[in-house]
Amino acid sequence: MGKQPSRFINKMNRLIDLLGTSFDCQCGRRHQVPTKKLFYGKDGLEHLPAFAESVSDTQSCLVLADKRTYDVIGRLVEDQLNKSGANVQQLIVPDSNGESPVTDDKTRDFLLANAPTVGLYIAVGSGVMNDLGKWLAYLRKKPYISIATAASMNGYASANVSATIDGLKVLFHAEACQAVFAIPEIIEQAPFELTTSGLGDVLAKPVSSADWRLNQFLFDEYYCQFSVDLLKELEPVYLENPQNINAKDPDAIKALFEALFFSSVAMTITGTSSPASGGEHLISHTIDMLAGRDGGHHDFHGRQVGVGSIFTAALYERVLSIDKPDFGNISNQINHDFWGSLSPVIEKEYLKKIPKLELASEKLSNSENWDALRSILKQNLIPAAKLKNCLKTAGAAHRIKDIRYNNQEMGRDFFLAILKNAHQMRERFTILDLAVMSGIIPSQMDQLVSEWITD
């Protein structure tokens, strides 16, 4: 990849300067960035003891890891803190159903029963371990630090926890970490599927931002253009050079990690996941929930999100090409046959959405409103073809058959059923709802799948 362009370096320096600050934004809010530091370097752990002492009122701490992340770097974290004289304990989170730990109410109860109360919690790992450390620290009202093991997801500096409660995939607000420590060698040597999962997660931003803007237009919900623009100057580093991700170029992996990190900062300062999570995430969450319901196994979050992002970007293009839409498809029922035992919790969410569907139908039936919305949304979107090319060239999941479900290729019919019903799982309004209301889902769904995510 070579030397980073000065424009990129200057942008990164400006973003780094935001950490630990608060500032007034044009959106009308005062943003606070609770995460104080990002340590990305081979000497990162050398700074850990002093930083840990600076954010905790005691030298007692807990290293929280699973058996894999403990072997990768958890033991080194523990040794580094022990050398400084800290009182260090460790807790290994057990695997779930023969696979890695999961973020759910059962694991939460395990942590509360087995984790000691300390002055600082240190989460070692990526998605699940970061969420579990965040959750535990929040419940104990203590600070936490994140030790990254992969450029696999955009939650490191997020205040949100993504968890499964009573079978429903939910997102709730906690507290962001005090700092993120990442050792380049470990991030670069992480399983490649984790790295490409991170690429899939960060590529969701153009679609999720359009969904967020859609909600502002329709329902006057809060929206912050600053947080949407936060990564725009970083996007070309991975969007225009996906071959460098495939080659595991250190500069490309670092740029991807930093983009994921600041994506999580964008969510934290706005108090919502909307800058980085929209309809494409509902597709992934639905897969997760079905796997949980049936005792099955799903793929990495970002791999599912990446394929979902290609489809939802193509869905936006198809829906926005309609000159005079007919928004007449509003059902007051969920698909009980599809959701099965999850139906009661899904129904509660969907019932809250119905008034939004009715309001959106009324507002967008006005041709002036529809034309205005089309013009606004096209400003943030990136073509589906560009997203697909990026993921394909990087060696990431970009087709249905790339997604594993129960350790096999996901079936096309199963994925079509997910696309048809995913909009029901949350109150949040997304492109999936717009497509259902306009009849694109299900009438043109099969065609779009064939065109974009079959080969």
Q: Position of tokens 């709730």? A: 172
Q: Position of tokens 């790339």? A: 402
**pLDDT at position 74, please?**
96
- Enumerate residues 6+ apart whose C-beta is below 8 A from 299: 287, 397, 403, 404, 405, 410
Burial label for 94, CB within 10 Å (0-12, 13-18, 19+), is exposed
**d(C-alpha 387, C-alpha 123), whole Å:** 32
pLDDT in tens, 324-345: 999 877 899 999 999 999 999 9
Q: Which of 219, 312, 216, 308 is nearest to 270 (CA)?
A: 216
**pLDDT at position 352, please?**
96
- pTM (two decimals): 0.92
**pLDDT at position 237, please?**
77
> Rounded to 5 degrees, what angle do the CA atoms 277, 158, 222 make?
55
Q: What are the tokens at 124?
A: 């070692």
Q: Which of 246, 289, 253 is nearest to 398 (CA)?
A: 246
Q: Position of tokens 């949040």? A: 428
| Helix or strand holding residue 112 (H, E) | helix 105-114
Q: How large is the angle between the packed helices 301-320 and 445-452, nearest 10 degrees? A: 120
**pLDDT at position 7, please?**
54
Q: How large is the angle between the packed helices 250-270 and 192-202, nearest 10 degrees? A: 40
Q: How large is the angle between the packed helices 205-219 and 301-320, nearest 10 degrees? A: 50
If DSSP codes are grouped into helix, strand and coil, which group holds residue 167? Answer: coil
How far from chain centre, in Å, is Cα 431?
Answer: 17
> What is the DSSP secondary structure assignment for residue 341, as one 8-state letter?
G
Residue 84 has a CB neighbour count (10 Å cut-off) of 13
Distances in whole angstroms, Cα of residue 294 to Cα of each of 297, 336, 406: 9, 15, 10
Q: Which of 389, 444, 388, 455 is nearest to 416 (CA)?
A: 444
- Amino acid 363 reads K
Q: Which of 221, 207, 435, 446 is nearest to 330 (CA)?
A: 435
35 in Cβ contact with 180 (< 8 Å) = yes
Burial label for 322, CB within 10 Å (0-12, 13-18, 19+), is middle
**d(C-alpha 419, C-alpha 65), whole Å:** 34
> What is the DSSP secondary structure assignment for residue 33, as one 8-state letter?
-
> Rounded to 5 degrees, what angle do the CA atoms 412, 387, 159 make?
95
Structural domains of the chain sorted by starting position, each given as residue range(s) with its CATH number in brackets: 6-190+224-261 (3.40.50.1970), 274-452 (1.20.1090)
**pLDDT at position 10, please?**
63
Cis peptide bond N-terminal to 442, omega within 30:
yes
Q: Where are the alpha helices (DSSP H) in 378-424?
A: 384-394, 412-421
Bridge-based pairing state of the strands 144-147 and 87-92:
unpaired
Distances in whole angstroms, Cα of residue 201 to Cα of each of 37, 118, 256: 22, 33, 10
Q: Position of tokens 């403990």? A: 70
**d(C-alpha 185, C-alpha 68), whole Å:** 16
Q: What are phi and psi of 6, to 5 degrees?
A: -60, -30
Burial label for 234, CB within 10 Å (0-12, 13-18, 19+), is buried
**d(C-alpha 41, C-alpha 61), whole Å:** 23
Listing DSSP states for 255-324 in one string gives: HHHHHHHHHHHHHHHHTSSTTT-SHHHHHHHHHHHHHHHHT--B--HHHHHHHHHHHHHHHHHHHHT-SS
pLDDT in tens, the chain (455 residues): 445 555 555 667 788 899 999 999 999 999 999 999 999 999 999 999 999 999 998 889 999 999 999 999 999 999 999 999 999 999 999 998 778 899 999 999 999 999 999 999 999 999 899 999 999 999 999 999 999 999 999 989 999 998 999 888 888 889 999 999 999 999 999 999 999 999 999 999 999 999 999 999 999 999 999 999 887 777 887 888 899 999 999 999 999 999 999 999 999 999 988 988 999 999 999 999 999 999 899 999 999 999 999 999 999 999 999 999 998 778 999 999 999 999 999 999 999 999 999 999 999 999 999 999 999 998 889 999 999 999 999 999 999 999 999 999 999 999 999 999 999 999 999 999 999 999 999 999 999 999 999 99
- Terminal alpha carbon distance of the chain: 28
- Amino acid 407 reads N
